[in-house]
Amino acid sequence: MERFYHIVTYGCQMNVHDSERIAGMLSELGYSETYSIEDADIIVFNTCCIRENAENHFFGNLGALKKLKEKKKGLIIAAGGCLTQQDGMAETVHKKFPFVDIVFGTHNLEKLKDYILQKHDGYKKSIIRIESDTGVIYEGEPLRSSYPNAWVNITFGCNNFCTYCIVPFVKGRERSRKSENILSECESLLKEGYKEITLLGQNVNSYNNGSDDIPFSALLEKIGAMEGKFRLRFMTSHPKDFSEDIARAMAGSDKICNAIHLPVQSGSDRILKAMNRHYTRSDYLRKIDILKKNIPDCAVSTDIIVGFPGETDEDFKDTLSLVREVGYHSAFTFVYSPRNGTPAAKMENQIPEDVKKERIMELVSLVNDKTRKISEEYVGKETEILVEDRDDKRELYFGRDEKGRMGYFESDKNEIGNFVTVKINRANGVSLMGEKV
Ligand code: 5AD
Ligand code: SF4
C-alpha cells in the first residue's frame, strides 16, 4: 500500500533544506510526497522560532489537526526543529497537543527515521526526544525539491550570540562540514543537472575558522572553478567576517553571482553594540566599499531590525540614512520581537508596539522606493533569467537574474532549468515583466 508524507516548513532557507533531509528519510521509509494534508499518512512540522509569528502559525496549524488525527487511524504527526528545541517547548507541545506522536529537536533530526520506525512497530506512547548540542554534522541524502537550485549546507550552528537571536541556543555551536564532502556534493549536483548552488550557513564567512581545512574564499574559488554553466550563491554573510579575499573570489569567477546578502540589522553604533554585532556603521560601510571596489555592480541585500530595546528616534534615523547610503537591492525588514532566553529580552526600555509599527512602516516605504527604482532601471534592458517554475494561472515562466530580481515571461515550451535572456518591458515593484529574446 502506498503511503504519503506531507511536510510543513516554517522559517528560513536552512529549514527548507532540513525539510529536504526529512523528505530523504521519509522516502527511504517508502513514503511519497502529497500536497494534500488529508491524504498524508505522516505529517511533519519543521518549526522555526526566530520570530513570533512562526510560533503562532505552528500552534494554529497543529490544533487544526486534532480532528484529522481522530478520524484517520494510523496517521503519524511529528514536530521538530528550532521551536521544539527551545527549553521546555517539547513538553509544552506534548501537553497542549497530546495527539502529536513524535517531538524532536534540531540535534536529533536524523533520528526521526528511527522514531518513525518505532511507531511502525506499534509503539503507542508519544515519543518526546530532545538532545542537547551534540555537534552533529549532517551528511544524509536529502530529497531535493528545489530544482534548478540546490541548497548545500557548509556550516551548522552559530557562535555569534547576537543579543536578540535565539539561533545559537537552538542550533548549537558552529561546526563546518569538511570541504571534500562539500566539493564532491557540488560536483555531483552539477553532474545531475542542477544549475544553481546556494551554500548555506548562519555565517558562511567564518567557515572553517580555526581549522586546517580551507577558508570560505578558497571554497568559493574551488566551486567557482567547476565546469559547466551554473550559478553559485551563498548565505548568510556576517559583516564582521566579510573580508577582501571573499570579494576577490567573487570577482574572480563568473559563476559566482554578483550579489550578496549582508545583514546590517541597524545603522546606529549604539544599537549595533547592544546587539553584540562586533562592527560599527563605518566598519560596515568599509566592507561595502571593499565589495564595490572588486565588484562595482554587486547587488547588496540586507536584514534590518527596528524597535530593538533602547532604540531612539535618533538611532532609527541612523538606520534610515544607512539604507539610503547603501542603496540596497532588497531588504528584509523585521520588527524586534523578544525571544525567551536571549539577553535582549531582559533589557530595559523595550520599545512600545505603536512606535515599532511606525518605524517599520517608514523603513519599508524607504526600502520599497529604492527597490522600485532599481527595477525600473531594468526596463528596456536584457537580463538573463534562470527559470525556476511556471505560474500556471498567469501562464508565465519565472526565475531570477544574477542579482536576485524575479522576472516573468511567456514561452510555449518548457523552460524550467533554462537560462533565458529576457528583454524587460515593465517593472512591477520587486519583479520584472519581459519577453524572451
Ligand atoms: N526579532 C526580530 N528579528 C529577528 N531576527 C533574528 N532574531 C530576531 C528577533 N528576535 C532577524 C534578523 C536576522 C533574520 C534572519 O531575522 O534580522 O538577520
Ligand atoms: Fe543569530 Fe547573529 Fe548567529 Fe545570525 S549571526 S544566527 S543573527 S546569532
- 255-274, pLDDT tens digit by residue? 999 999 999 999 999 999 99
pLDDT at 125 over 80: yes
Top-confidence residue, 28 or 136: 28
pLDDT classification of 1: cutoffs 50, 70, 90 = confident
Q: Tell me what pLDDT residue 51 has.
A: 82
pLDDT digits (tens, 9 = 90+) for 76-100: 999 999 999 999 999 999 999 999 9
- Which residues does a 6 A CB cutoff place in the pocket of ligand 2? 158, 160-162, 165, 167-168, 202-203, 238
Q: Tell me what pLDDT residue 5 has.
A: 97
Ligand that comes closest to the CA of residue 168: 2
Looking up cell 537571536 gives 165
| Percent of the chain predicted with pLDDT > 90 | 94
The C-alpha atoms of residue 351 and residue 305 are separated, in whole angstroms, by 12
Q: Tell me what pLDDT residue 204 has.
A: 98
Say if residues 161 and 168 touch (Cβ distance below 8 Å). Answer: yes
Count the Cβ atoms, other than its own, within 10 Å of residue 181: 14
What is the 411 CA–ligand 2 centroid distance (Å)?
Answer: 41
Q: Tell me what pLDDT residue 155 has.
A: 97
What is the 167 CA–ligand 1 centroid distance (Å)?
Answer: 9
Cell numbers that stand for 394 in this block: 498567469
Of 12, 15, 49, 51, the one to substitute when testing ligand 1's pocket (max ligand atoms within 8 A of C-beta) is 51
Ligand that comes closest to the CA of residue 49: 1
Q: Which ligand 2 atom is nearest residue 166's CA?
A: 1
Ligand that comes closest to the CA of residue 308: 1
What is the 203 CA–ligand 2 centroid distance (Å)?
Answer: 7
What is the 290 CA–ligand 1 centroid distance (Å)?
Answer: 26
Cell numbers that stand for 368 in this block: 520599497
pLDDT digits (tens, 9 = 90+) for 8-63: 999 889 999 999 999 999 999 999 999 999 999 999 999 999 987 778 889 999 99
Q: Tell me what pLDDT residue 127 has.
A: 97
Global model pTM greater than 0.85? yes
Cell numbers that stand for 306 in this block: 527596528
Q: Are strands 3-9 and 127-129 parallel, antiparallel or unpaired?
A: unpaired
Q: Tell me what pLDDT residue 190 has.
A: 98
Ligand that comes closest to the CA of residue 203: 2
Q: How many CA atoms lie within 13 A of 133 on its CB side?
A: 14
Identity of the residue numbered 423? K
pLDDT classification of 251: cutoffs 50, 70, 90 = very high
Q: Tell me what pLDDT residue 138 has.
A: 86
Q: Tell me what pLDDT residue 76 has.
A: 98
Calculate mean pLDDT across residues 282-306: 98
Give Rg (Cα) of the chain.
Answer: 22
Calculate mean pLDDT across residues 414-426: 98
pLDDT classification of 284: cutoffs 50, 70, 90 = very high
| Percent of the chain predicted with pLDDT > 70 | 100
Count the Cβ atoms, other than its own, within 10 Å of residue 361: 12
- Which residues does a 6 A CB cutoff place in the pocket of ligand 1? 50-51, 164-165, 263, 265, 303, 305, 334, 336-337, 339
Closest CA to 164 of 336, 315, 311: 336
pLDDT at 358 over 80: yes
What is the 280 CA–ligand 1 centroid distance (Å)?
Answer: 18
What is the 239 CA–ligand 2 centroid distance (Å)?
Answer: 11
Q: Which ligand 2 atom is nearest residue 171's CA?
A: 6
What is the 235 CA–ligand 1 centroid distance (Å)?
Answer: 15
**Distance between first and last Cα of the chain:** 48
Q: Tell me what pLDDT residue 52 has.
A: 77
Cell numbers that stand for 42 in this block: 505522516
Looking up cell 520599545 gives 351
